[in-house]
Amino acid sequence: MATFRLQGSRVLAVDMTGDAVKAKNGSMVAYDGQMAFKKMTGGGEGIRGMVTRRVTGEQMTVMEVKGHGTCWFADRATEINLVRLQGDKLYVEASNLLCTDAGLRTGTSFTGLRGASQGNGLFTTTVEGTGQAAIVSDGPAVVLRVSRQYPLTVDPGAYIAHQGDVRQSFQSGVTFRTLMGEGGGEAFQIRFEGDGLVYVQPSERTTIAGDV
């Protein structure tokens, strides 16, 4: 299995000894040794992924990198966060997924109104199995714990990913900016319940479901 390690906070180094990884197309910035690159069409593996791409028009392009040596990846100087999976599933926005072990299975999951509120469509990417994944964030990501005693409410524009036995629901409410008189209308939030982790970034992407 390939070894993931960070060099600084914005460059991912992956050491490979005949292993393979899947990475966002165009994210390779350097490599040594011998590497082979193959372009793949992502957005989910198998028939379901194909159907999802046709229904939503989503086209996530990834590449497979295989070889002996070290390959370095980066994406627009964004911060990189390593996630280790132990047979569980990671839900992550496609634009925030940088690199995964080739043995991890990728797919799609229906998000409904949550995805629509973020402007990301009705589906999100899933990564499942045992291995490592690298996700990117606009600024250092914050990892927040969700417990059965303490549910978590997140601004859709700051959400990146989540993992664990977590249920999510879509709710309307007000933001701090609304309370301060800076909001212009109804806002929407994501509520997480259960037991797991939620990754958020300290920067809000543009959303389409209200002033969030």
- For the stretch 97-151, pLDDT in tens is 999 999 999 888 876 554 444 444 456 889 999 999 999 999 999 999 999 999 9
- For the stretch 72-98, pLDDT in tens is 999 999 999 999 999 999 999 888 999
CB 124 within 8 A of CB 94: yes
CB 168 within 8 A of CB 192: yes
How far is the C-alpha of 99 from the C-alpha of 25, rounded, in Å? 10
Is residue 4 predicted with pLDDT exceeding 70?
A: yes
Could you tell me which residues are beta bridge partners of residue 7?
A: 11
**Which whole number is the average pLDDT over 161-171?**
89
User: Model confidence at 49, in pLDDT bands (50, 70, 90)?
Assistant: very low
In 42-186, beta strands by DSSP E: 61-73, 79-92, 97-101, 105-110, 123-137, 142-146, 152-154, 159-173
Is residue 163 predicted with pLDDT exceeding 60?
A: yes
CB 105 within 8 A of CB 127: yes
Average per-residue pLDDT for the chain: 82
CB 198 within 8 A of CB 192: yes
How far is the C-alpha of 77 from the C-alpha of 49, rounded, in Å? 29
User: Model confidence at 210, in pLDDT bands (50, 70, 90)?
Assistant: very low
How far is the C-alpha of 152 from the C-alpha of 6, rounded, in Å? 29
Residue with tokens 């997480």: 192
What's the confidence (pLDDT) of residue 207?
52
SS3 string, 183-196, reads CCCCEEEEEEEEEE
What's the confidence (pLDDT) of residue 175?
52
**Which whole number is the average pLDDT over 1-28?**
96
